[in-house]
Chains A and B, each alone.
Chain A
Amino acid sequence: MTEAAISIAVLVQSDDFDPTEQEAALLSAGAGVGAIVAFTGYVRGHSGGSTVERMELEHYPGMTENAIRGIVEQAAQRWALGAVSVIHRVGTLRVSERIVYVGVASAHRGDGFAACEFIMDYLKTRAPFWKKEYTEGGERWVEARQSDSEAASRW
């Protein structure tokens, strides 16, 4: 699989998504696919000692999609990938709902594991999304975490 052949899908949407359907779509990248590595992120019910009731996700339409696509293109330059699908939800999300999906199809698992983690680390620190948590104690904007910056800087 060459870089030129990679198929990239990026979606920012309020609707839920089905990881099984995403996997089927990734498989259709071709007979060269031997591995699919996928990450699904969910809304946690606890944050900093508080019980989270729901979250609001805001984004920068246009820039967000382009930023994610740029991150995926960087990944495709570093690893041999066949297809990548990234979905990020926005709007109101309740505990245990899916927030984000990164699926990577590749010939071999090593490329898929590395690329999936790289894309998530970069997405968390570079794609313009913002989370606001609603807890029993009120609402608050989530602050960027040093550990996320450190995770991204190791690449």
Chain B
Amino acid sequence: MMRILFFADFREQLDTRQLELELDESCTVSTLIARLIRQGGENWRRVLESDNLVIAVNQTICDAGKNLVDGDEIAFYPPVTGG
């Protein structure tokens, strides 16, 4: 099982805070994104193919080539604006 989190503008655009999905075999963040777009449609494509997309796996920023394993927590969010 993977836990997938969305924050801020992305959370609102997708109306989704959190998802749990069974892991596909040999899954990367890229293949997960393709699966989410396939299931979710155009709105999901707009968010997950955005130039602004930041990816974190297990709370560490990484790129879309990152391999995923069972139990991973994947977060998608826009550039940060704190402080």
Give me the interface of A with B, judged by CB distance under 8 Å.
41, 57-60, 62-63, 66, 88, 99-100, 120, 123-132, 141-145, 148
Number of A-B contacts (CB under 8 A): 67
B56 contacts A130, CB within 8 Å? no
Q: How far is the CB of B83 from chain A (nearest CB, A)?
A: 4
- A129-B81, A130-B77 are known; give 7 further A-B pairs, CB within 8 A: A58-B8, A59-B82, A100-B83, A128-B77, A130-B9, A130-B78, A141-B9
Which listed residue, A100, A120, A129, A132, touches B80 by the CB 8 Å rule? A129
B68 contacts the other chain (Cβ, under 8 Å)? no
Contact A99 B83 (CB under 8 A): yes
A124 to B79, CA, bound (A): 10
By beta carbon, the residue of chain B nearest A119 is B83
Contact-residue bracket for chain B = 10 to 19
What mask results when residues 44 to 77 of chain B are scored 1 for a CB within 8 Å of chain A, else 0?
A: 0000000000001001000000000000000101
8 Å CB contact of A124 from B7, B8, B59, B82: B82
| Chain A CB within 8 A of B37 CB | no
**Chain B residues in 8 Å Cβ range of A88:** 82-83
- CB-CB under 8 A from A131, the residues of chain B are 81-82
Q: Please, which residue of chain B has its CB at the minimum distance from the CB of A125? A: B80
Chain A residues lying within 8 Å of B79, measured Cβ to Cβ, are: 143-144
A126 to B56, CA, bound (A): 12
Cα A129 to Cα B8 in complex, Å, equals: 9
By a CB distance below 8 angstroms, the chain B residues around A125 are 80
Question: What residues of chain A lie closer than 8 Å to B56, measured between beta carbons?
Answer: 60, 63, 128
Contact A130-B83, Cβ < 8 Å, known A60-B59, A60-B75, A60-B77: no
Do the beta carbons of A141 and B59 come within 8 Å of each other? no
Q: Which residues of B contact A57 (CB under 8 A)?
A: 82
